[in-house]
Amino acid sequence: MADEIKRRREEDDDMMLFVFPAMYMLCGTTNSEKIPRHISRLSGKERLQEILEGHVMDCKVAFRMEPHVFKTIANYLREEKLLKDSRGLRIEEKLGIFMFMLAHNASFQDLQYEFKHSGSTLHWHIKSIFKIIPALTYRFLKLPHADQTHWKIRTNPRFFPYFKEFGRGHRRPRDYKELFNHRHAILRNHVERALGVLKKRFPILKVGTFHRIKNQVRIPATAAVFHNMIRLPNGDEGWLDNQPDNIEPTNFVDLPEGDSEYPNDVPSLSNKMISGNNIRDMIAKKMWEDYVRN
């Protein structure tokens, strides 16, 4: 009986000599095998070509501009040597990646899925475009002078006499507050129209983003620069009026409460608000005096 037990144990030991190596190889293969991710039939270059050569609306949705405008901007960046073609990635594809990110608040994972490039490649080329924004801002944005009045105010007699020192409906206003609010609303409509078009073209301006703070503060200027670059070759903006926000809810980023994050700033802001209100009332009363006199 003891011999039989010993023989079976030896057989089990021999079996383990085969089983353990096989199990090790099986587990090792399962854990280390990498499954290819970017296996779409279209490369990033081919995806870009599909968008630019397809229906014009595809390009508008993807890049917020028409194909001919996209090519004009890419050629400008090349001719001015602001960007360079690199191995495997031409300027057109770099611009497409950046504009898709700007138009859709796309994360790096979204861009990897869309253009089939690694995260490090995408990060490098998006960073390279952010770096040229100061140069483009100088060329395509006309910054206001702090000591000059905007031309729309300067050329309008309803506004200029009251705003030059500080940088009527069917129903007549009853006091200086109503008069000021009415005229302020007219100016605000111009501003809101301009900002509304900009936000329609680049809805990223209306939500939080995935980017670091360093790049977040560049995004508004970036959007304004590219909007002007799009408009120069007669890029259309009328189609934006009926467009949805163009950003998937999954790409929304929650923002912290500003006052709770910066409690020390609130008192100083309150003091500035009081000073601003005093200047506003001074302007409004001058308006009212001239309005009553005339």
Summarised one tens digit per residue, pLDDT across range 262-287 is: 555 556 667 778 888 888 888 888 88
Q: Give yes or no: residues 288 and 214 share one domain.
A: no
Same domain as 76, residue 172: no
- Same domain for 126 and 230, yes or no, is yes
Does residue 23 have a pLDDT over 80? no
**Does residue 223 lie in a domain region?**
yes
CB 163 within 8 A of CB 243: no
Stretch 134-156: mean pLDDT: 73
Same domain, 136 and 155: no
| 179 and 117 inside one domain | no
75/162 same-domain check = no
Count of structural domains within the chain: 2
Q: Which of 245, 220, 229 is nearest to 65 (CA)?
A: 229
139 and 51, same domain (yes or no): yes
- Do residues 74 and 180 share a domain? no
**pTM recorded for the entire structure:** 0.64
Per residue in 195-253, pLDDT (tens digit) is 888 888 888 888 877 778 888 888 999 999 999 999 998 887 877 777 666 666 555 55
Same-domain status, 58 and 125: yes
The answer to whether position 23 is within a domain reads no
pLDDT level of residue 160 (50, 70, 90 thresholds): low
In a domain, 264, yes or no: yes
Q: What is the DSSP string of 129-185?
A: HHHHHHHHHHHH--PPPTTS--HHHHT-TTTHHHHTT----SSPPSSHHHHHHHHHH
Evaluate the CA torsion angle 38, 42, 46, 51 in order and state its sign: negative
Domain hosting residue 189, numbered range: 151-196+255-293
Is 115 in the same domain as 184?
Answer: no
Within-domain flag for 20: no
Q: Are 279 and 160 contained in the same domain? A: yes
Residue 40: other Cβ atoms inside 10 A: 13
DSSP category for residue 34: P
Instruction: Evaluate if residue 165 carries a pLDDT over 50.
Output: no
pLDDT of 45 higher than 80? yes
